[in-house]
Amino acid sequence: MASSTIFLHSSPPTYLSNFQICNLNKPKSTRKWNSGYSLKPIKATLVETSSFPLFQPPQVDESPSEMGLVDPDFYKIGYVRSFRAYGVEFREGPQGFGVFASKDIEPRRRARMIMEIPLELMLTISKKVPWMFFPDIVPVGHPIFDIINSTDAKMDWDLRLACLLLLAFDQEDNFWQLYGDFLPSAEECTSLLLAMEEDLLELQDQSLELTMRKQQRRCLEFWEKNWHSAAPLKVKRLAPDAKRFMWAVSIAQTRCINLRMRVGALVQDANMLVPYADMLNHSFQPNCFFHWRFKDRMLEVMINPGTRIEKGEEMTVNYVSGQQNNMLMQRYGFSSAVNPWNALPFSDEPQIHLDTFLSIFNITGLQEEYYHNSQLAKDGDTFVDGAVIAAARTLPTWTNGDVPIIPSLERKAAKELQEQCQEILAKFPTTSKQDQQILDATVDPRRTLEAAIKYRLHQKLFIEKVIDALEIYQDKILF
């Protein structure tokens, strides 16, 4: 089908399949909203995926064929409120939601829109005082404003957004009362804010473990301070227990979009919860991005210019650039063995020759923009991935104009770097094979426990990949 017909606004939107339209007349499934963890069971959505072979994880948990079309009500509740989607479909599987192309999309010179979400459906709060909300759902004199106003302006953006989310759930006829049915429950979230004591121990990362304990304590103390016995009833019912509030903060952290938006003459940076757009999964090489359309206050999800997308391919965005796995885990609750921004604590000595390493693996570009030139690679050679790109950034290297390398010295340096990698691996109490066996043997693990084990597994797989890359480097510098 011609791609030029995907975004014609003069015709009705084509995001409902025939199957979904037929099901609109069927009885609506019963849903509850008594607490943040009594929802319809849905897996957490923040699972790292990629549409580009360079950054594909070694193992893919699910394919689009294993994901079923989402409940038609998911579209309907937004469609009647001016949400629109073009040429995409939402799917739900064991690992959560994803957005996939419903038809082939040919590359264009200009970015094209696949989603538009009106401001009225969002929850936004300015990053700086005075706090401004668009839309302003905080009633005049409501005590939740005093709670929001008591937060630290620089540190507590997630607490403010969580308060706003809880207020939206409590307001009659608010869109988020319906959309909340499709958010992951507390048991389905991978955020480490909801992790148990034993889950944090499984990280095998003391620094990250300590950081998450501090984050949990910060949220708990905030809840105890504002949801005490003397608090007004209209505040108490928002978060009757600490777990409810922790869940709201985890949703705020994992689904927040930071964007500069213009409303009339006012331009401000805001923390935003944007329905439907928050169902896009992460990729280090995304095919979509967000754009604010100020003339009618719409957030647009746009396809990158020049991008070809096949039917069934996942639509992705980059949540945050240049962050290692520990930061991704702290904020979003996921990690990747092929994160191109991973790093290792190497000593300054020894060093390998930078240009030689890059040329052997056909890596080009500046350090912050390294990429694999696949046209120079041999057919069937799939060794180079995001972990090798990360190795090019993190390995200690030297360069001195046109001074050539001495192969014997390069091999010696590479071996010493391999030994440093082995020493790092030896500090872990388990191996990558043991971690994989634990994952395979565990039946229905808690989502936070599963995420913690995957985190330490991905760290080890990355180190092993660096060792293998250094081995190939030693072999090829002799020729």
Contact 137, 177 (CB under 8 A): no
Question: In whole angstroms, how far apart are CA 89 and each of 99, 221, 315?
Answer: 6, 41, 10
Of 265 and 274, the structure prediction assigns the larger pLDDT to: 274
pLDDT band per the 50, 70, 90 thresholds, residue 39: very low
Question: In whole angstroms, how far apart are CA 72 and each of 15, 22, 76, 119, 229?
Answer: 10, 9, 6, 22, 42
131-174 pLDDT, tens digit per residue, is 999 999 999 999 999 999 999 999 999 999 999 999 999 999 99
406-421 pLDDT, tens digit per residue, is 999 999 999 999 999 9
171-193 pLDDT, tens digit per residue, is 999 999 999 999 999 999 999 99
> Minimal CA–CA distance to 28: which of 93, 95, 81, 74?
74
Report the C-alpha gap between 101 and 313 in whole angstroms: 6
pLDDT at residue number 445: 85
Is it the case that residue 440 has pLDDT exceeding 60? yes
Residue 364 three-state SS: strand
What are the helix (H) ranges across 429-479? 432-441, 447-476
pLDDT at residue number 95: 81
Is it the case that residue 90 has pLDDT exceeding 80? yes
- Rounded to the nearest 10°, the torsion over CA 48, 53, 57, 60 is 90
Tell me the two tokens of residue 369: 């923009």
Percentage of residues of the chain with pLDDT beyond 90: 78
Peptide bond into 340 cis (omega under 30): no
311-352 pLDDT, tens digit per residue, is 999 999 999 989 999 999 999 999 999 999 999 999 989 999
Question: In whole angstroms, how far apart are CA 327 and each of 88, 246, 303, 465?
Answer: 30, 19, 26, 21
pLDDT at residue number 248: 98
Residue 241 three-state SS: coil
Contact 399, 355 (CB under 8 A): yes
pLDDT at residue number 62: 54
pLDDT band per the 50, 70, 90 thresholds, residue 479: low
SS3 content of the chain, % helix, strand, coil (to 5): 40, 15, 45
Q: Could you count the other beta carbons within 10 Å of the beta carbon of residue 344?
A: 18
Instruction: Give the residue-averaged pLDDT of 209-219.
Output: 98
**DSSP structure class, residue 105:** B
Tell me the two tokens of residue 4: 């030029």
Is it the case that residue 4 has pLDDT exceeding 50? no
Mean pLDDT for all residues in the chain:
87
Report CA Rg, the chain: 24
pTM of the complete model:
0.85
Is it the case that residue 36 has pLDDT exceeding 80? no
Place of tokens 């404003």: 145
Contact 72, 85 (CB under 8 A): no
